[in-house]
Structure 1
């Protein structure tokens, strides 16, 4: 399979894993966001992922992937995952150094493509730093003139958000959790989507999810982490019922640890490229 195909497969395997507390999986839907929306989003992102594989600029490939992903009724299914996958697919080799080179070489034009991608789907984001309203990603194309005037690259944009956004933090620190997830997936036994679901729970129990913090606040994100730790401990002792109950409760509460799921999708891609077979 090609890197672009492996990226699409990673998106499919990530959503197929279950139980995946708080996120859509093959056993759980939200009222307005269903399993099949994620399947359609993964297929729709293909043209943009192939563009990244062919060496197209990161911003152009990302916007194309998001635009294709948006062609389903659920809205934003994989925006964050694609923001990780595009530079991973584009990299000459799958190493932190190579992917860092890709993202550090992004341009103002790449930033423009990133901002335009927000016009295709509704993405939950934090307010920009004080005095930086002109760079609010929710402005979409309207922010292009400010980007050009300040000569702001896509990497610069990620640096602005890295203190409170887990995907931006991956970009600016060599994709550490993405590569850690791939290594953990490779270590485990069983079906690859089941391994991914286990890694998802382990990661959720290790670090507060930044998407949860954006939507519900820091205290809720920290509470989810503690509950994940309890569920993980029970799972390790052979009690899977608590994990299922935890998964159901987060869905009922509308708490969606999306950043953790996105990072697992990136880890799945790296694992597939390194030879892990589904």
Structure 2
């Protein structure tokens, strides 16, 4: 039986919270997790941020910019720091597009097409609202640009502004390319991991998928957050290491691929945190991918 709009809406809300929870239950090198805090933050802040931003991101009928601003405002009120700006920027148009998919049950191609339609409608007001959100979150270096800096009022629509930043920021690139990295690279990595982990406990399979998606993004191109904080050369070195670690990890039999039992990844995690290197953009892309993947799967 086809899902009703209400069933789809509730499933999407649950999928978002699940993806955010997997983000911190899965140890990912350089990221905060329940196993390893870092960068002055801890896991409880990320869970609280997901809860705080939920209603804003899934406010039916709201424009994308308003969802972004309200989600960031509520997150700041809940945890007092920037824990989820990248996730919010990615999920807001995805959530808005759910209202336009028409397809029941939801499919990735239908959702992708709806996302494209949502992005094409983004206007100057969306840019104004999103700029306010980015300024409020105050992420170091994000939004600094020779054109359409968030420190000045925008003069173009949000998608056009994101296009200007797309060559230097992977989240902005999703607005420019219709979320191609999520629907192509991200979902492929998710499906690979879940297929290989079939027969294992669901939580282990999903954590394995989260790690596989994260390493696919981190090894695919330099992490934007690392580039902003430490420069391109260091970010490229992290990307190369991610490729090596990912290739090794993928050769591990499924029974030994649980994210909590890889000493080499644990050691790399400690090294990255000791050097204040946080692959935050790769984590944001992974969360958004897991959100999409869990949405297109049937509940249960």
TM-score normalised per structure 1: 0.87
Q: 1:58 to 1:198 in 2, by over 3 A?
A: same
Question: 1:268 maps to what in 2?
Answer: 290
For residue 8 of structure 1, what is the aligned residue in structure 2? 17
Alpha-carbon distance between aligned partners in 2 of 1:237 and 1:90, rounded to the nearest angstrom: 38
Partner of 2:5: none
The number of residue pairs the alignment matches comes to 263
- Tell me: CA distance 1:125–1:259, structure 2 relative to 1, closer, same or farther (3 Å): same
Give the equivalent residue in structure 2 for 1:179. Answer: 183
Q: 1:41–1:71: 8 Å Cα contact kept in structure 2?
A: no
**CA distance in 2: counterparts of 1:34 and 1:71, whole angstroms:** 17
2:170 alignment partner, one of 166, 187, 193:
166
Asked whether the 8 Å contact 2:189–2:216 carries over to 1, the reply is no
Residue 127 to residue 186, structure 1, CA distance change in 2 (3 Å): closer
| Residue 216 (structure 1) aligned with residue 230 (structure 2) | yes
Please report how far the alpha carbon of residue 127 of structure 1 lies from its aligned counterpart in structure 2 after TM superposition.
6.4
Of residues 260, 264, 278, the one that matches 1:242 is 264
Alignment match of 2:159 (pick from 137, 155, 161): 155
Pairwise CA distance, 1:115: 1.1
User: Which stretches in structure 1 are left out of the alignment for 5+ residues?
Assistant: none
| Mean CA deviation greater in 220-229 or 194-203 | 194-203
| Aligned twin of 1:118 | 134
127 and 178 in structure 1: CA distance in 2 versus 1, 3 angstrom threshold = closer
**Does 1:38 pair with 2:43?**
no
Q: Is the Cα contact below 8 Å between 2:58 and 2:96 reproduced in 1?
A: no
Pairwise CA distance, 1:241? 2.0
Backbone CA RMSD of aligned residues? 2.0
Unaligned 5+ residue runs, structure 2? 1-9, 102-107, 198-203, 257-261
